[in-house]
Each structure stands twice: as structure tokens, then as C-alpha cells.
Amino acid sequence: MPRSPLPSILTPDLISRQREIVEVFLKNGWDYMRRLLTGGASDEPELPPPAVLRNILIELGPVYVKLGQLLSTRPDLLSPSYIQALSDLQSTVPAVPAVKIAIS
């Protein structure tokens, strides 16, 4: 009988990162995520307000900032208020401390 791949996928590092992402969402007050995690009614998914989304992406790190930069160029996907908030990521992003950059 083949072993389940689940234990090898859910490594402590991955679980830790998932926890960190959820904490960032909750800390920034994304109420939809809070309702979802507490077992409340899961209405239609809704984006957090533009400034909150920008802050979440910044806090999650460079890959998420890059995603925000990409989304800021897509007015066909997001409303003007989101485009404006995410456009700030094109020029005003805090630097990542060198100690946080891992070289594999």
C-alpha cells in the first residue's frame, strides 16, 4: 500500500509560513479571512480595502510585492482604487534586510 504524500508535503517550515501568512491577514484586519477561519458565514470572497491589501503584500515579502506590482498594471482585473494603491509598490517599497535574504 503506497504511503500518503501528505506528511512529506506538510513540513514544519511550510506550516510555519502558512501560519505567518494567516497572522498577517488577521493583523491587517481582513474581516473575510477572519470570518472564514472562525467558522462564520463564508459569504462571497471579498478583497480587503486597497490600502490594507497593499500593506498585506508588503508585509508578506518581496514575492508578494512583485505580485502587487504586476496587478497594478492590470486595470482589466482591478478597480482604479486598487490600481492606485498597488501602483505605490512600483516606487515606494521598504528594503528587505540583508539578513532575511536566504541564499540556497
C-alpha cell at position 19: 501560519
pLDDT single digits (tens) 7-32: 566 677 777 878 888 888 878 777 66
Q: How many CB atoms lie within 10 A of CB 82?
A: 22
- DSSP code string of 26-65: HHTT-HHHHHHHTT----S--PPPHHHHHHHHHHH-HHHH
* pLDDT (0 to 100) of residue 45: 67
The full set of domain ranges for the chain reads: 6-100
C-alpha cell at position 70: 504586476
* pLDDT (0 to 100) of residue 99: 76
pLDDT single digits (tens) 43-65: 666 778 899 999 999 998 888 99
Question: What global pTM score does this model have?
Answer: 0.70
